[in-house]
């Protein structure tokens, strides 16, 4: 929404903010809200962005958890939860494709992405091994203006 609908953030800038937020502990969207809130409105903006994003959903999740505890074994509820999981996976894949667009014009970025996919997804190498190697290659490519 920030990039496509409102156009408050450029796609490249959002990709950089998200990359930073993925390295920080916690949910990516919370980290992004804090970073962008601080950038635009200072410390108060960071707090307001975080609370505005999470205060009401926190209450909803607690209420849903109480309901789920009572109905978790019901087949319809299990089917709904499985469907929500599939929808979440689809949203995740769609976001990954949108974030890859700025890198699609840069061959070095595509090579690093492909290497990570092949290493983790196909060869089943631990992410703890692949991620530092990918980060080092990305830093090298960025310093040499390949990315």
Per-residue pLDDT of the chain (147 residues; tens, 9 = 90+): 888 888 888 888 888 888 888 888 888 888 998 999 999 999 999 999 999 988 998 999 999 999 999 998 999 999 999 999 999 999 999 988 888 787 777 888 889 989 999 999 999 999 999 999 999 999 999 899 887
Four-point Cα dihedral 51, 54, 59, 63, nearest 10: -170
Joined together, the tokens standing for residue 4 give 């496509």
Decide if 109 contacts 147 (C-beta within 8 A): yes
Determine the straight-line distance between the first and last CA of the chain, rounded to whole angstroms: 25
The reported pTM is: 0.46
- Give the span between the Cα atoms of 30 and 50, in whole angstroms: 6
Count of Cβ atoms closer than 10 Å to residue 143 Cβ: 9
């Amino acid at each position: 929404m920030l990039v496509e609908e409102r156009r408050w953030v450029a796609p490249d800038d959002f990709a950089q903010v998200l990359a930073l937020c993925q390295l920080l502990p916690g949910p990516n969207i919370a980290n992004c809200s804090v970073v962008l809130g601080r950038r635009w409105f200072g410390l108060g903006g960071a707090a307001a962005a975080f609370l505005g994003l999470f205060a009401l959903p926190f209450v909803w999740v607690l209420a849903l958890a109480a309901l789920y505890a009572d109905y978790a074994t019901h087949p319809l509820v299990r089917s709904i939860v499985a469907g929500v999981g599939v929808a979440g996976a689809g949203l995740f894949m769609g976001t990954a494709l949108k974030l890859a667009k700025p890198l699609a014009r840069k061959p070095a970025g595509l090579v690093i992405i492909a290497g990570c996919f092949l290493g983790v997804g196909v060869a089943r190498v631990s992410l703890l091994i692949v991620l530092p190697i990918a980060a080092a290659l990305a830093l090298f490519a960025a310093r040499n203006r390949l990315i």
